[in-house]
Chain A
Amino acid sequence: MRHPTEGDLRRLVDEPAGVTDADRAHVASCPTCLQALEEIRADARLVDSALAPAADGIDLDAAWARLTATEVAGRRQSSPRSRRSWRTAVRRPAVAVVSAAVLVGGAGVAAANDWLPIFQTERVDPVELTSTELVQLPDLSAYGDLDVPQEPGTEQVADAAAAYERTGLTVPGVAELPEGVTGEPTYQAADVVSATFTFSAAKAAQAAAAEGEVLPPPPAGVDGAALRLQAGPGVAAVWSQPTGAPTLVVARVVAPQVYSSGVPYEVVRDYLLSLPGLPDGLADQLRELSADASTLPLPVPAELVTSSSADVDGADATVLTSRDGLFAAVMWVEDGVVTGVAGSLSAEELLTVARDLR
């Protein structure tokens, strides 16, 4: 009889009833399996001990008070607690751009010298994802080597001139501040972020095997093919309330670009889309979005944000509105530069700001 898999043996450690009688009987009388089982049990114990949580002494009432304070403050946008949840919300579009960059970059390659710009992002299209789908999104590091030599770094700078000097980008000027937004902004500058992904058929085959699947044969040249992705630099002006809660953010970021070292990007992309583990719906969306090679799939958590589109001086803009009504954002791409306006304002107010940027 064949030996049970390591996965079966692992389950035997925790849930013997989940393993078939035949497998249990085999293991009980097979010295090889018994030895493997002991090793697996020892590893499981070691890891359990290493991960043992420091989670005793929880004060449930205090935690609940904190949560409700955050909720209430989030609505008033005035207490120091709101600043925190608020910042998270405001950052979301920027973070989304970075994660989209990594998503596309994951579909990418790296290594060679002569990079051909495969596409330059011309439009921002949200891909609506539920959190479940996000969870299922395969980590492409299982399919090759993802190298992110530099984490995105953002730094406050003295003024718009300093931001320009550091990034070469002009901070868009706001013609007229909306009601409720006052004072002088602070300025942020972000450096270039780049990532390279080298596809490995051996690694991908291993990942597929772990899922119980067989890797579809890669097209010629895809094994070892590399994509390089680059995004940034970026600048932002941030207006805040006296309490510190930001009310308006105006940002400009150089849009992500993908370079391929030889194999056309579309070939690599289509192959990656065919790999086991990618939800069918998402794969279809990505395929559709990338068809003209000029849009940037922007994963948006559908349970948190609704999206629509609007015109900003001839550019096709994406409007994101949080379902809780606390914030909105407007983003568009022009000449390879993403411009975004976000804040604790209505989408209409933000569109007015966006259309009057100088």
Chain B
Amino acid sequence: MAVAGAAAHGAVRDDLGEVFRRDYARVVGVAARVLGSRDEAEDVAQEVFLAFGRSSVPAGEAPGWLSVAAAHTALNHLRTGRRRTAREESLAAVPPVEPDVADAVVTREERSRVRAALGRLPKKQAVALVLRHSGLSYTEVATALDMSPGSVGTTVRRAESALRKELNRHASSD
């Protein structure tokens, strides 16, 4: 049966290697935006590709499926505290921000605060935000999350506004 072939017992889909080489870096990139650590992001990518290898997701839908799975899995790690070891490790893994983006300088502490706030956002908002900032177009985000393209902007804006407020709240209370 061609339809369910990839999901047969013990079988790994034939195109796994090809898709892995094409999309691995992007999947790590999505997860790293959530987690701020490449090592943790690579752990997430492994989980995502293991699941993909055993799935029968149509090849044409693979990029969207992988991005959504990476965002969800990484957010789950972030929320459940299934972090690799201590929080410090993920902080240490964050490279210093280039000083030339003067209008958007974000300190290491702020990055960690933004990630904590990201974990508290409604999941759909958080996923839409992460996918958009990972370079998916509005149409791609809309398709991946079954939203209208028109509502992607509203959802992303809402999430960004919440994260910015989080930064301001701390800045003003310091």
Contacts and interface: CB of A to CB of B under 8 A. Distances in A.
Interface of A: 5-11, 14-15, 18, 40, 42-58, 60, 63-64, 66-67, 70-71, 75, 85, 88, 131-132, 134-136, 138-139, 141-142, 151, 207, 210-212, 277, 303-304, 323-326
Given A55-B32, A136-B124, A303-B51, 16 more contacts: A6-B153, A6-B157, A7-B150, A9-B153, A43-B163, A46-B167, A47-B160, A48-B133, A50-B167, A52-B33, A53-B33, A53-B41, A54-B38, A54-B94, A64-B24, A212-B151
Contacts of B139: 18
B54 A324 contact: yes
A134 B28 CA distance: 21
Contacts of B151: 7, 210-212
Nearest to B42: A63
Interface residues of B, number: 83
B129 A49 contact: no
Most chain B CB within a 10 A radius of its CB, from A6, A18, A54, A139: A54
Nearest to B151: A212
Nearest to A131: B69
A5 to B, nearest CB: 6
A54 B51 CA distance: 24
B138 A48 contact: no
B50 A67 contact: yes
Contacts of B154: 5-7, 10, 210, 212
B157 to A, nearest CB: 4
A14 to B, nearest CB: 7
B87 interface: no
Consensus secondary structure, chain B interface: helix
B145 A63 contact: no
A40 B133 CA distance: 14
Most chain B CB within a 10 A radius of its CB, from A15, A46, A50, A151: A50
B60 interface: no
Contacts of A55: 25, 28-29, 32, 38, 41
A53 B71 CA distance: 13
Given A54-B95, A55-B32, A210-B158, A141 B122 contact: yes
Contacts of B103: 42, 45
Nearest to B112: A50
Contacts of A10: 153-154, 156-157, 160
A18 B138 contact: yes
B146 interface: yes
Interface of B: 7-12, 17, 20-21, 24-25, 28-29, 32-34, 36-38, 41-42, 45-47, 49-51, 53-57, 65, 68-69, 72, 80-81, 93-95, 97, 101, 103-106, 110-111, 114, 118, 122-124, 127, 129-130, 132-133, 137-139, 144-161, 163-164, 167
B111 A50 contact: yes
Nearest to B61: A132
A14 B129 CA distance: 13
Given A58-B24, A135-B72, A324-B9, A49 B97 contact: yes
A142 B125 CA distance: 10
B5 to A, nearest CB: 12
Contacts of A212: 148, 150-151, 154
A140 B160 CA distance: 20
Contacts of A304: 51, 54-55
B146 A132 contact: yes
A50 B34 CA distance: 10
B114 A47 contact: yes
Query: What are the 4 tightest A-B residue pairs by CB atom distance, in nearest-first order?
Result: A7-B154, A7-B153, A53-B32, A11-B153
A56 B53 CA distance: 24
A323 B157 contact: no
A225 to B, nearest CB: 20
Given A7-B150, A47-B133, A48-B133, A54 B114 contact: no
A26 to B, nearest CB: 16
A46 B106 contact: yes
Contacts of A40: 157, 160
B157 A71 contact: no
Given A136-B145, A212-B148, A50 B114 contact: yes
Given A10-B153, A151-B81, A51 B127 contact: no
A43 B133 contact: no
Contact of B10 (A11, A64, A67, A324): A324
A87 B169 CA distance: 41
A54 B145 contact: no
Given A47-B163, A139-B124, A75 B10 contact: yes
Contacts of A63: 20, 24, 42, 45-46
6 contacts: A6-B153, A18-B139, A43-B161, A54-B36, A57-B38, A136-B145
Nearest to A98: B80
